[in-house]
Amino acid sequence: DSGVTQTPKHLITATGQRVTLRCSPRSGDLSVYWYQQSLDQGLQFLIQYYNGEERAKGNILERFSAQQFPDLHSELNLSSLELGDSALYFCASSVGQGREKLFFGSGTQLSVL
Amino acid sequence: EDQVTQSPEALRLQEGESSSLNCSYTVSGLRGLFWYRQDPGKGPEFLFTLYSAGEEKEKERLKATLTKKESFLHITAPKPEDSATYLCAVTTMIKAAGNKLTFGGGTRVLVKP
C-alpha cells in the first residue's frame, strides 16, 4: 500500500458527461501529480500541484482541470467526455518538488461508453 | 522534449534465466532516472533512483545501472514473481517542468517456472 488513496476505483459514464476523480496524498506529502495511462500512449503526465499551487503542466486537455485543496487532497475534473478519454488515471504524491520518488495510487479506471 | 525509449517491449524468460532491460533517454539536463515496477491493474511501484553516470543500485535480484545515455535493469536468476512491466522514467533540471516524470513505454517481463 503506497499510502495514496484514489476514488472511485472504477467509473463508467457516457460521452459528453463530466466526472470528478479524487486523490488523497500520503500523509506529509505536499506535491500531487496526475497521470493518464492508456494502451497506446503509456503513462502521460497531466499536471502537478505543490501545496495548492499549480507547479507544472503536461499535455492536459482544456476539457480537463484539476485543483489541490488546503487539506492537500486533489481532484481531477474531466468534462465533455469522449470515447478516447477512457483510460487509467493515476494520482501520485511526493514530499516536495525536488527529485524525490513519487508514490502512486492504485488508479481510477474510466470507461466512456 | 524529453524522450525515453525502452527495449525490448516484451521479454519471456525461464526461471533462473538472467537478462537485461534497456532504457535510452534524451533529456535537457538529467536530474534523476527512476525505475518502477507495475503489476496489472495497479499503480507503479518505486524500485530505484539513479542520479549520475556510473551509479549502480541493487535490490534482491534487480540491479540498475546508469550511463550518460542509457540505463540498464539487470534481472539475475528471475523468479515467476518478478513478472511485471518495468517502467523507466526521467526528470529534468528545467525548473518549469516541476518534478514531472517522463516515462518510457515499459518492458513487459514474463518469467515462466
φ and ψ at residue B108, rounded to 5 degrees: -85, 120
- In which band, very low, low, confident or very high, does the pLDDT at B97 lie, cut at 50, 70 and 90? low
Nearest CB to A90; choose among B43, B96, B105:
B43
Nearest CB to A48; choose among B41, B98, B102:
B98
Interface of A with B in 10-69 (CB under 8 A): 31, 33, 42-45, 48, 50, 55-56, 58
Taking contacts as CB-CB distances below 8 angstroms, the residues of chain B near A56 are 96-100
Integer Cα distance of B71 and A26 in angstroms: 29
Residue A32 vs residues A67, B78, B112: alpha-carbon distances, Å? 10, 34, 37
pLDDT at A40 exceeding the cut of 90: no
Instruction: Count Cβ atoms below 10 Å from residue B39 Cβ, excluding itself.
Output: 12
Q: Beta strand B102-103 with B107-112: parallel, antiparallel or unpaired?
A: unpaired
Torsion of CA B40, B24, B67, B52, to 10 degrees: -60
How confident is the model at residue A2, as a pLDDT?
87
Give the mean model confidence (pLDDT) for residues B50-67. 96
How confident is the model at residue B11, as a pLDDT?
97
- In which band, very low, low, confident or very high, does the pLDDT at B96 lie, cut at 50, 70 and 90? low
Q: Are A36 and A21 in contact (CB under 8 A)?
A: no
Nearest CB to A48; choose among B41, B49, B99:
B99
Per-chain mean pLDDT for chain B: 93
3-state secondary structure of B32: strand
A43-74 pLDDT per residue, tens: 999 999 999 999 989 989 999 999 999 999 99
Integer Cα distance of A48 and A64 in angstroms: 13
pLDDT at A82 exceeding the cut of 90: yes
Q: Are A37 and A79 in contact (CB under 8 A)?
A: no
- Give the bridge partners for A109, in sequence order: A10, A88
How confident is the model at residue B74, as a pLDDT?
98
A18-32 pLDDT per residue, tens: 999 999 999 999 999
Give the mean model confidence (pLDDT) for residues B45-70. 96
